[in-house]
Amino acid sequence: MYKIKVGLLGSSGLVGEEYRKRLANHPFFELVFAPKRETLFDVDRAKECALIFSALPSNIAQEVDLLYVKEDRPVFSSASCHRMKKEVPLIIPEINGEKLKTTCGGIIAKPNCTLQSMLLPLYPLHQAFGLKKVAATYLQATSGAGKDFSLTNNIIPYIEGEEEKSLRETHKILGDASIVMSIHCNRVPVTFGHLACISASFAKKPTLDEV
């Protein structure tokens, strides 16, 4: 069976390791390019790739991802530095995947990790009843802070930039900047898995059966 040849940037980090696991024996993709730090800028080695997955942190991705785009390689990036650029689609496939049909290469961004789980159940409710307000408290695992981050018997009650990301990215993904949001982000001593405690109000009050 023919498989699409892909590359992976940042393969040694936590996100990159997860990409490797998911791409191993993938039914549609074949990983053929995963440069190390010293060969990260060697874009010629990615010529056989139809697309690139990037798990690079923002401070590196903002330069390196664009190098591969200039070589006509679409880049699916996890980095926050791209998400709010007007020309970059911010995609959760089940919500706004149709935007990929009108995207001509370039960078395609994935949202903040907490939003992926929060917006999936909220989206059909928003379609049916009109989402007006959201209040959410996130309990975020240490995996979101990187491979070497450790937090034992402690909680960090504020994660810089996370609350702002949640607001801006929700508005962009849902295409509705009128939704009022109150977000609180906490780092907790759990290795993997985020928890979101969410309250929402709607323009049209849903019944329990409708939900």
Quick check: 147 pLDDT over 70? no
Looking at domain 4-109, its CATH superfamily turns out to be: NAD(P)-binding Rossmann-like Domain (3.40.50.720)
Question: 88 is written with which tokens?
Answer: 């970059």
d(CA 98, CA 207): 30
d(CA 69, CA 138): 34
pLDDT at residue number 45: 86
Tell me if 109 sits within 8 A of 88, measured CB to CB.
Answer: yes
d(CA 59, CA 88): 17
Of residues 182 and 104, more confidence is placed in: 182
For residues 114-143, average pLDDT: 94
Within 10 A of 210 (CB to CB), how many other CB atoms are there? 10
Tell me if 149 sits within 8 A of 155, measured CB to CB.
Answer: no
Element (H, E) at 16: helix 14-23
Quick check: 149 pLDDT over 80? no
Pick the closest to residue 137 from 61, 201, 77, 194 (CA basis): 194
Mean pLDDT of the chain: 92
Helix 113-129 crosses helix 162-174 at what angle (to 10 degrees)?
40
Q: At the top level of CATH, which class does the domain 113-202 belong to?
A: alpha beta
Quick check: 148 pLDDT over 70? no
Quick check: 31 pLDDT over 70? yes
Quick check: 33 pLDDT over 70? yes
d(CA 21, CA 23): 6
For the chain, the structural domain boundaries read 4-109, 113-202
DSSP secondary structure, 94-151, as one string: HHHGGGGGG--SSEEE---HHHHHHHHHHHHHHHHH-EEEEEEEEEE-GGGG-TT---
Are 4-109 and 113-202 the same fold in CATH?
no
Query: Strands 180-187 and 131-140, how do they pair?
Result: parallel
